[in-house]
């Protein structure tokens, strides 16, 4: 989920596109002060200092959040789900975290769904992903063309960077006219199809 939200909203969104053999986990970010919002405390995976392409980033917070997501993946693996049957996904700040985690983990994942987001700490790549197991991973990246918060240009720049880190033929980038910083039914159907393709019934 994105800044200031919880996992509940996305759990409701996924209820409409559920695939019967797939388990959906929608975690909540911890509550912490956010510099961008004048230090107010709210659910946030890491601190956001600014929204410009050259804004300072919360490197320690991003790395800590990523470790927390890797621990969630480890827990599912311990429960008997192979990591290559796990698709990581997120919206906005959560999408940014999903991309960063997938590109830096040694756990081979089933794919990533990255919605209305960007790649954090982008200048740390390709070095940061040299030990990643996911150079061949499949990515569905989606963005609203009318997004006023995370402009679609961020999505375009991110997909170009991803193509240098992963097999370009495994990266799908979809944009939606008139969609702001949110989701739409067409996007949700694209997510459903991607998940069903990456996680077919066993």
> What amino acid positions are annotated as catalytic residues?
92, 147, 181
Q: Which residue, among 4, 91, 9, has the nearest Cα to 40 in the 3D structure?
A: 4
Number of residues in the chain? 202
The tokens for 180 are 């702001």
Determine the Cα–Cα distance for residues 88 and 79; give it in Å rounded to an integer: 17
Residue 173 CA from chain centroid, whole number: 13
DSSP structure string for 75-126: HHHHTT--GGG-EEEEETHHHHHHHHHHHH-SSPPSEEEEES---TTGGGTT
Q: Return the sign of the alpha-carbon dihedral for residues 37, 40, 32, 143.
A: negative
């Amino acid at each position: 989920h994105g800044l200031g939200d919880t996992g509940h909203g996305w759990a409701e969104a996924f209820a409409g596109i559920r695939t019967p053999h797939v388990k959906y986990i929608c975690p909540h970010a911890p509550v912490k002060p956010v510099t961008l919002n004048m230090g107010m405390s709210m659910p946030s995976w890491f601190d956001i200092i600014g929204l410009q392409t050259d804004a300072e980033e919360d490197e320690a917070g991003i790395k800590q959040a990523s470790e927390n997501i890797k621990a969630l993946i480890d827990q599912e693996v311990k429960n008997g789900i192979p990591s290559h049957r796990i698709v990581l996904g997120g919206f906005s700040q959560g999408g940014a975290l999903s991309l960063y985690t997938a590109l830096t983990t040694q756990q081979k994942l089933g794919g990533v769904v990255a919605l209305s987001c960007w790649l954090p700490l982008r200048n740390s790549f390709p070095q940061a992903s040299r030990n990643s197991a996911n150079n061949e991973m499949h990515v569905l990246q989606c963005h609203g063309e009318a997004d006023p918060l995370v402009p679609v240009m961020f999505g375009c720049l991110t997909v170009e960077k991803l193509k240098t880190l992963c097999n370009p033929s495994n990266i799908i980038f979809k944009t939606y006219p008139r969609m702001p910083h949110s989701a739409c039914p067409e996007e949700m159907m694209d997510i459903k199809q991607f998940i069903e393709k990456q996680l077919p019934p066993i």
